[in-house]
Structure 1
Amino acid sequence: MAKTKAVKEEPLEKQLWKAADKLRKNIDAAEYKHVVLGLMFLKYISDAFEELHDRLKSGEGDLAGADPEDKDEYNAENVFFVPTESRWSHLVAQAKQPDIGTYVDAAMDAIEKENPSLKGVLPKVYARQNLDPTSLGELIDLIGNIALGDAKARSADVLGHVFEYFLGEFALAEGKQGGQFYTPRSIVELLVNMLEPYKGRVFDPCCGSGGMFVQSEKFVEEHQGRINDISIYGQESNQTTWRLAKMNLAIRGIDSSQVKWNNEGSFLNDAHKDLKADFIIANPPFNVSDWSGEQLRGDARWQYGTPPAGNANFAWLQHFVYHLSPTGIAGVVLAKGALTSKTSGEGDIRKKLIAEGNLIDCIVNLPGKLFLNTQIPAGLWFMNRTRSTQNGGNHPRKNQILFIDARNLGHLINRRTLELTHEDIQQIASTYHAWRTDEGSYEDIKGFCASVPVERVAELDYVLTPGRYVGLPDEADDFNFPERFAALKAKFEAQLQEEAALNQAIVESLARVKL
């Protein structure tokens, strides 16, 4: 008798995504994400409220005599107060009503009125005509089953994980626009693992949906640190993205009171003017040409030179440097062009960051296809204040820069998108950690990493492309050109055949169309 192969059940978050996406119907992904994520957030705060409500009602121990409807009891426990008409059980009871959308909007409005920190955060989009009430009711039932059967405290972890997964899936569905609010998880993990933000102030002045903060908190938890040892500061110029960040952080129990929104953005209206951060983790938009540079000439932040009005890359770099504490360190994503550009004084600014500021600690060249919204090649910049003699100069390699070429790492998760594996992240992060200690465990690896004296970088005109310094891997010496050419030729011929077959199929399909 033939054995049947066991079918591996899909993870919960994938099952939920497929079901939620099926209910989307004709609604644009950019709009639908607020519908779904808003309901998820409502479920989370309702679960947290109900758990404390039950404990207050039972009146055990320190809670003896407490009033379960007293808002102050919830404030004391950092739990959002959820009025009766906003509780999940109330919405479930109305889920089959034709005006369920009106009920949900009213629930969101009531929560904002009871919780000032949520004012302007929650979506009120559920009564719109393009949102079918039957599908909305089914979506409420679907989200209501997340973590069903788990303890309510456990449900917060499950909901947080699903919320994060859905953010990524919506970003994929939106494509180019999705990258504006979401940095791929593997890049966030790499930045956080390299920086190791155990204690201090963590700042992201272009924070999107808050992924850098969530990952920082995860890192502390995974390394048995204390969550209260870090505090987060952020700014976002897109209000709908800021709302996502506030919900994303709240669902993780992270204090987002210092995550600010204003329409002008970090350059024109810095929400944290006096902040000196211990860690800066950021993924600013690449090569922005319209950043109000002309209005900011002579700004105090441009210590190493005025950035060109047509490209914000070096404005961002100097904004980060300005906000670093005397022992602070920044890890940021930038378009690869910033490593070599000499346009409009960019080369001079890069030179001064190295020669005068002695700030550049490490450069990582990333593989392509990591980003959802752009095919522009990117790299990571790490800037460290402890290299400077003004701050004690106690960095063991203050006269060297570490270059890492990670272009050959990562694996494809679909035809257009690549991600770094856990092993890739550990390889890069451990290389950096070994390098910045003085215990002698670091070694150059041809084709991957090299510790380069600043004098050598100066000889190459302060170009920071890792490939210039790490060389080719040893196996490149054994490159078999005839064999490689034959393989590429065969692959190309197969692609031509596939193209011809597809073209023929299109012609046949068109021939069957009746006009």
Structure 2
Amino acid sequence: MVSQQPEQLTAAGISRLAGVTRATVSNWRRRHADFPLPSGGTEANPTYDRVAVEAWLAARGQLPERSPMDELRAELRGLPREVTADHLSAFLLAVARMDGAARRKLIGLSDEEFLARIQGPLEERVGLLPHARRDGLTASAVPALKTVLRAVNASGIAETLDVLHERQSADGTARGVYGTPEVVADLMAVLLEGTTYPASVYDPACGSGGLLIAAGRQGSASLIGQDVSPVQADQAAVRVGALVPGSEVRIRAGDSLREDAFPGLAAEAVLCNPPYADRDWGHDELGYDARWEYGVPPKGESELAWVQHCLAHLEPGGPAVILLPPAVAERSGGRKIRAELVRRGALRAIASLPPGAAPPQHVGLHLWILRRPADDRADVPPVLFVDTAQDDLPGTLRLTTGSGKTQAVLAELARSALGKGEIRVLTWKESPHDFRRTILQHWRRYEEAPEDFETVPGVARAVPALELIDEGVDLTPSRHVRTAPPAVAPDQQAESARATRMRLRRAADALVAVSGGEEWKPGGAKAATWRTATVADLMRGGAIGLHRVTGASRGRRLTEPVVPPDGDGRRVLTAGDVVADRTASGSAEESALTELLELQRGDVVLPEMLHGGAGTARVVDDRDVGALLGPHLYLFRPDLDRLDPWFLAGFLAAEENLHSTATGSTVVRVDARRLRVPLLPLEEQRRYGRAFRRLTAMRRAANLAVRLAEETSRQLGIGLTSGSLLPPGD
């Protein structure tokens, strides 16, 4: 084995490793003469040898128990030079096609038998990676490969892939390049559905393969992609091959516009989330390219170059779904190309997503649904516009502002306070499938009879092509679906406004009540500190149980889901439910659970992934009891004679606690076993538990008051501008 440079840790790295604060690390350095001396860095920011730090922490019982993922990270830090990330990725592709029994049998083999068994499959799989080294492996690779296998057995293919790719920095990540969230990728893949699902799907800017995975899970047999980043292309090949093992996968590296790896390809369908606002896309050298069938894209319209590239790689009649920024629908530079897309029937629909549905979070992106014309049709169908970015219909309260953690946390409380049927409370965060259902519902109705599509005021409308080809060719959905609010009698408007004002007053009174009471006193001259234990320690002591369930892969399922008996009626608590603080909204069939775990009073549920850089924990109460635990959630089941649930939830969800165990960059996961909990007497726990419960009530009341204030001002403003209400007297 070739010697490796010792890994260095900063003080912040030591705090994350030990699950303590940086102040604690500083105290160790000052108080313990045997604390490892700095081995690098600067005087202001020293670094320490990781091996020496781990040995020092282990000798004092401060080193948390390492999970299989921790073991994998440690193994990756000391890989022999002849073992590359390509070898590990190819090995992961090979084991993805094995069942659990075969994996367990493989890990029990001797090193020689192990190497002989996997050499052939590994060499075959490494050929699927666009830039992989083809070097053979020696016995020195076996420990790393077995560590990968243990990680797969413990946490699954997807999480193991995340760890393998953590250390591979994206080379040349361009401005305007964003990942596609799973819920949006799934929506785009479903929009390709016809009488049969497309057998071949192409993504010319595939990134790490999210859209191709979504298409594969829907049933596509041939998945083809290209990405300008060699690292991303390799990751896509591994992810798609491992997570959709039944499909043929062809991934290439290179710039799809300048260096098209599939020039003669005519796929049955295309999915794409291309780079945005790229002025160096090749305008000068590609001016006479045959792909510009609808017009030469101006230098500032790179997105319309990608649109035409996608259409050029479709068979006649094939569909494409492309995620684009809203400016593409209205910028003056692209109006001629937009007009031609409409005139020839290539553009079929544009649907706007709510802000936050996909990065960049502050922008409501558009989904363009296109179809390559099969011929020069005289009867060009109307274009469907769907707007889910806002919902200003009367009687609707939409929660659209705030961080990922706080947005929509009040929806359920709002429904209770406002009364059923009086007002509709909406937010995309509350249910990420709301916009998905809306878009699919109207698209399917449009597909059945485009000419007869019935307008839904403020939400969906099919517009004849001739109406769109005006001076600006503005294809922004809100422009075409927004209509004046239905006429309301002045007395009805006044009564509605009065009722909303009364709700606002009640919410304000509730906020004053919950935020009052005794003062929150300082803990003393210095902040209080406690002895803590990790969740793993508490599990060994029987104070807590930790549970997770997984969802079976859709499409070609690797594991068959367990479905409750017909008529069971139980819902599934999803990660979105916990983030939005709403009742369980999922179904066992849609979640494809591989295990049914029923929630009990006093359970604490925490999302596996951080949302918007923050986390939230939920204590199971009457509304949750009997529901089933969904995927991507940790369930902590405390011994109620030893741990208070609200105390546990408050400390588990502490920002410092979560970030000290979080891993990953694009998807940030929490290692639940390493979370730390103070060791306090039960009565003291309950004092803290009551305080955490009060904070939750305060947040709910404050946000409800803000949203109702906005709704009240909106209704009064509509009444004044429509002539239904008169200004009040002085």
Q: Which residue of 2 aligns with 1:187?
A: 184
Give the AA of the match of 2:253. Answer: W
Give the AA of the match of 1:456. Answer: E
Tell me how far 1:282 sits from its aligned partner: 0.8
Tell me how far 1:168 sits from its aligned partner: 12
- Corresponding position: 1:348 with 2:332: no
**Structure 2 unaligned blocks of 5 or more:** 1-65, 78-82, 135-142, 392-398, 408-427, 516-521, 528-730
Tell me how far 1:202 sits from its aligned partner: 1.6
Give the AA of the match of 1:283. Answer: N
- Corresponding position: 1:234 with 2:225: yes
Tell me how far 1:309 sits from its aligned partner: 2.0
Q: Distance in 1 between matches of 2:133 and 2:118?
A: 7
Tell me how far 1:331 sits from its aligned partner: 0.9
Out of 425, 428, 431, the residue aligned to residue 442 of structure 2 is 431
Q: Distance in 2 between matches of 1:241 and 1:49?
A: 25
Tell me how far 1:315 sits from its aligned partner: 0.8
Q: Distance in 2 between matches of 1:374 and 1:167?
A: 27
SS at match of 1:233: strand
Tell me how far 1:332 sits from its aligned partner: 0.5
Pairing 1:410-429 to 2, within 5 Å after superposition: 414=405, 418=429, 421-429=432-440
Deviation string 1:108-127 (CA, Å, 9 cap, x unpaired) is 99865454523556699xxx
Alignment length (residue pairs): 393
- Corresponding position: 1:406 with 2:388: yes
Q: Which residue of 2 aligns with 1:464?
A: 475
Pairing 1:40-55 to 2, within 5 Å after superposition: 42-43=91-92, 45-46=94-95, 48=97
Tell me how far 1:287 sits from its aligned partner: 1.5
With the length of structure 2 as denominator, give the TM-score of the two structures.
0.45
Pairing 1:55-454 to 2, within 5 Å after superposition: 88-89=107-108, 113-115=123-125, 117-118=127-128, 141-146=150-155, 159-160=156-157, 162=159, 180=177, 182-196=179-193, 198-220=197-219, 230-251=221-242, 252-262=244-254, 265-342=255-332, 345-355=333-343, 357-372=344-359, 375-386=362-373, 390=376, 398-408=380-390, 414=405, 418=429, 421-438=432-449, 442-454=453-465
Give the AA of the match of 1:245. Answer: A
SS at match of 1:190: helix
With the length of structure 1 as denominator, give the TM-score of the two structures.
0.61
Could you tell me the percent identity over the aligned residues? 22
Q: Distance in 2 between matches of 1:51 and 1:144?
A: 7
Q: Distance in 1 between matches of 2:357 and 2:86?
A: 24
Q: Which residue of 2 aligns with 1:97?
A: none
SS at match of 1:202: strand
- Is the 2:69–2:160 contact (alpha carbons within 8 Å) kept by the matching residues of 1? no
Q: Distance in 1 between matches of 2:430 and 2:270?
A: 23
SS at match of 1:196: coil
Tell me how far 1:430 sits from its aligned partner: 2.1
Return closer, same or farther for 1:294/1:463 CA change in 2, 3 Å cut-off: same
Return closer, same or farther for 1:211/1:435 CA change in 2, 3 Å cut-off: same
Tell me how far 1:325 sits from its aligned partner: 1.9
With 204-213 and 115-124 compared, the bigger mean Cα shift is at: 115-124
- Is the 1:112–1:118 contact (alpha carbons within 8 Å) kept by the matching residues of 2? no
Return closer, same or farther for 1:434/1:165 CA change in 2, 3 Å cut-off: farther
Q: Which residue of 2 aligns with 1:100?
A: none
Deviation string 1:47-76 (CA, Å, 9 cap, x unpaired) is 64688989xxxxxxxxxxxxxxxxxxxxxx
Give the AA of the match of 2:189. Answer: V
Deviation string 1:401-437 (CA, Å, 9 cap, x unpaired) is 1100011489986459958633532331121111121
**Structure 1 unaligned blocks of 5 or more:** 1-16, 29-33, 55-83, 95-102, 125-133, 147-158, 221-226, 498-503, 510-515
Q: Distance in 2 between matches of 1:180 and 1:468?
A: 27
| Larger relative helix fraction | 1
Q: Which residue of 1 aligns with 2:4?
A: none
Return closer, same or farther for 1:284/1:42 CA change in 2, 3 Å cut-off: same
SS at match of 1:296: coil
Tell me how far 1:88 sits from its aligned partner: 4.4
Tell me how far 1:465 sits from its aligned partner: 0.7
Tell me how far 1:321 sits from its aligned partner: 2.0
- Is the 1:450–1:470 contact (alpha carbons within 8 Å) kept by the matching residues of 2? yes
Tell me how far 1:179 sits from its aligned partner: 9.0
- Is the 1:405–1:466 contact (alpha carbons within 8 Å) kept by the matching residues of 2? yes
- Is the 2:189–2:211 contact (alpha carbons within 8 Å) kept by the matching residues of 1? yes
Q: Distance in 1 between matches of 2:319 and 2:166?
A: 31
Tell me how far 1:90 sits from its aligned partner: 5.8
SS at match of 2:185: helix
Pairing 1:496-515 to 2, within 5 Å after superposition: none
Q: Distance in 2 between matches of 1:181 and 1:18?
A: 31
- Is the 1:179–1:372 contact (alpha carbons within 8 Å) kept by the matching residues of 2? no
Q: Distance in 1 between matches of 2:369 and 2:273?
A: 12
- Is the 2:192–2:319 contact (alpha carbons within 8 Å) kept by the matching residues of 1? yes
Return closer, same or farther for 1:47/1:309 CA change in 2, 3 Å cut-off: closer
SS at match of 1:294: coil
Deviation string 1:137-191 (CA, Å, 9 cap, x unpaired) is 9776443334xxxxxxxxxxxx4565688899999xxxx9999573111111111
